Amino acid sequence: MEGHNPNGDISRHDGPDTPSIENEDKYRNIVESSHDGICIIQDAVIQFANNRLVRMLGFPKKEILGTSFYDYVHPDELSKVMASYERFVAGDDRKQRYETVMSDGQGAALNIDLSISPTLNEGRQAALVMIRDITDLKKMEAEKRELERNLQQTQRMEAIGTLAGGIAHEFNNILWIISANAEYALDVLQGDSPIDKNLKRIEKACDRASGLVGQILSFSRRRQHRPKPLDMRAIVKETLKFMRASLPKSIEIKTEIAPDLGLTMADPTQLHQVVTNLCTNAFYAMRKKGGVLEVTLENVDSSEVASFPSGMAPGRYVRLRVKDTGMGMEPAVMKRVFEPFFTTKQVGEGAGLGLSVVYGIVESYHGTVLVKSLPGQGSVFEVFLPLIEDKAEDDTLHARSVPGGQERILFVDDEPEIADSAKEILEGLGYRVEVKTHAPEALALFKAQPDGFALVIADMSMPHMSGEALAKEMVRLRRDTPIIICTGYGELIDQARMKEIGVREVIMKPAGIGTIAQAIRRVLDNP
């Protein structure tokens, strides 16, 4: 080819208007020691390449010289680079700089910064091309963007968690008013009233609502989880009942639940999350075309399950199986499905936390989650939880044990309805009760009569002064002051710290009359 320098040397050609590259040692040293790839192309053919470019491309120099520059351009970028070079040859755009992608000897993509300017080679116009490898820089930029997105997601989830915790606190206060008054009315009526069954329905509804608030508190990470022997049948049935109302008619729900299901040790709120998240994920996969959601709950033995997870201890397990007939997943997606923040959903449709939460909860109970899926053939998620030999705790309403007394109690809560209800209920048990809805006023009253109260019951979250701060001040005034703290916010209260400042008991809202009455007697009868 005309103008081809077989040795790949830089030729000396001086011109009045166009810069030339001298074939001298000092210039050769500069070119060869450059951290950037440098080449001269003429008619799109590489006439010269420095050592750095040779290393970047991964071919021997003799195989690079005389070949088309386009051979090393990534196919996706070829039309862009060809158009750029054609403009250069035509003289329309004699100096250019842009980012593009090349391929090395192994076919790996190289992100580069390319600049092109005119030069001479063998007396003819040519292009001097400078190539800087920015692959690592691009990778760092991508990682930085990913970290920024994850940080934004985390901050968003923290904000939602804080909001959820605040809503749960307010809702718990409302539930306490409803449940306490319903329970008090039942005690007064003694089952002789025609509205007895209506009050019991209110009580049961409050109990279910309290469970939902527990899920909100669990989401906002403001609730301590208390595993107990659990029958998952009620959880699955209740979750599907709630979901059925919100699912479109194009999605059919089928269930198969073993009547002799064994027990597993878990927190009911967390298992609600597991079932809800798996079913929500299945619904999303079928949202466009509809389909069938199959939920199976059964006992299995590791020796009888062909797909039993490797690495799991042999034995008996409770298996939850959630199957959908949705779009399915590619293998690459399936591998990442449990990663936090990984999602195939559009922006605003989900944070990519649902399945990672499922995985974390199940792993914490020494179980595991398996997923099987093929594009266009739906997905199957299987949850294995160890089966235990024990009896489930009775979640029905227990017979009330409501002891009373005659001591004087100071009750402090910023909700007037709660304060009024507490006064009526505690006075009905025989106590003399003083209520305050403003913590500083309660402290002023206590300062005036430090020995006037046998017990102080205070809400944890109040404006101006928290229950903890109020307790500290009262104990400072009278060291042996018995104090009970009530909380509807679900804070992870440090029991050791509470005991240190003089708090004897912590009661979670909404609490029944029996729970409060028994806590009062425990504190007063055990100074």
pLDDT tens-digit profile of 489-498? 654 556 667 7
Strands 379-388 and 368-373: antiparallel
pLDDT greater at residue 5 or residue 139: 139
Tens digits of per-residue pLDDT, 336-392? 777 654 455 443 343 345 677 788 888 888 888 888 888 888 899 999 999 987 655
Give yes or no: residues 361 and 315 share one domain.
Answer: yes
CB 261 within 8 A of CB 233: yes
b or e along 58-71 (b: 16 or more beta carbons within 10 Å of the residue's beta carbon)?
ebebeebbeeebee
Reported as a single tens digit per residue, the pLDDT across 254-302 is 999 998 899 999 888 788 888 888 988 888 888 888 899 999 999 988 8
pLDDT of 297 reads 94
How confident is the model at residue 349, as a pLDDT? 40
Q: What confidence tens digit (pLDDT) does each residue in 137-176 have?
A: 888 888 888 788 767 766 766 676 677 667 777 777 788 8
Closest CA to 433 of 403, 455, 409: 409
Within a domain: 88: yes
CA distance 263 to 393: 10
Q: What domain range is 114 assigned to?
A: 25-133
Among the listed ranges 19-33, 171-185, 391-405, 412-426, which one has the minimum average pLDDT value? Answer: 391-405
pTM: 0.46
**What band does 24 get if pLDDT is binned at 50, 70 and 90?**
low
Residue 363: CATH number of its domain: 3.30.565.10
**Cβ atoms within 10 A of the Cβ of 192, count?**
7
**Are the C-beta atoms of residues 394 and 511 closer than 8 Å to each other?**
no
Question: Would 433 be classed as within a structural domain?
Answer: yes
Three-state SS for 448? helix
Tell whether 463 and 362 lie within a shared domain: no
pLDDT of 369: 87
Least confident among 43-57, 85-99, 121-135? 85-99
| pLDDT given at position 6 | 44
The verdict on 419 and 336 lying in the same domain is no
Give the per-residue pLDDT at 3.
Answer: 41
In this predicted structure, the answer to whether residue 512 has a pLDDT above a threshold of 80 is no
Query: Is 196 domain-assigned?
Result: no
Terminal-residue alpha carbon distance, the chain: 104
Residue 412 lies in a domain: yes
Q: Which of 340, 311, 312, 324 is nearest to 372 (CA)?
A: 324
Q: Of 391, 420, 440, at which residue does a domain stop?
A: 391
* Domain-located, residue 325: yes
| Cα radius of gyration (the chain) | 36
Question: How many domains are there within the chain?
Answer: 3
Determine the pLDDT at residue 496: 67
Q: Examine the pLDDT at 395 and tell me if it is beyond 90.
A: no
- What was the pLDDT predicted at 289? 85
Task: Tell me, yes or no, whether 271 lies in a domain.
Answer: yes
Answer yes or no: is pLDDT of 397 > 70: no
C-alpha span between 164 and 177 (Å, rounded): 20
Q: What is the pLDDT of residue 469?
A: 92
Instruction: Say yes or no: 422 and 376 in one domain.
Output: no
**What is the C-alpha separation between 338 and 342, in angstroms, rounded?**
8
**What average pLDDT is seen over the chain?**
81
Cα angle: 456, vertex 460, 466; to 5 degrees: 95
More confident residue, 458 or 357: 458
Among candidate residues 133, 156, 172, the one where a domain is terminated = 133
Same domain for 382 and 414, yes or no, is no
Do 371 and 453 share a domain, yes or no?
no
Task: Give the type of residue at 407.
Answer: E
Given this model, what pLDDT does residue 516 score?
87
Does the structure show a pLDDT above 80 at 475?
A: yes
Residue 413: inside a domain, yes or no? yes
Please report which confidence band the pLDDT of residue 185 belongs to, taking 50, 70 and 90 as the band edges: confident
In this structure, the answer to whether residues 239 and 281 fall within a common structural domain is yes
Residue 182 has a pLDDT of 81
DSSP conformational letter for 346: P
CATH code for the domain of 425: 3.40.50.2300
Q: Which residues of 243-253 are buried (b: 16+ CB within 10 A; e: fewer)?
A: beeebeeebeb
Q: What is the dihedral of CA 304, 306, 309, 311, to 10 degrees?
A: 80
Pair (238, 374) in one structural domain: yes
* Pair 371, 430 in one domain: no
Q: Are 435 and 383 within one domain?
A: no
Same domain, 281 and 347: yes
Q: Does position 66 have pLDDT exceeding 70, yes or no?
A: yes
What pLDDT does residue 238 have?
82
Q: Which of 360, 391, 422 is the last residue of a domain?
A: 391
Residue 164 lies in a domain: no
Residue 49: band (very low, low, confident or very high) from pLDDT cuts 50, 70, 90: very high
Do 236 and 336 belong together in one domain? yes
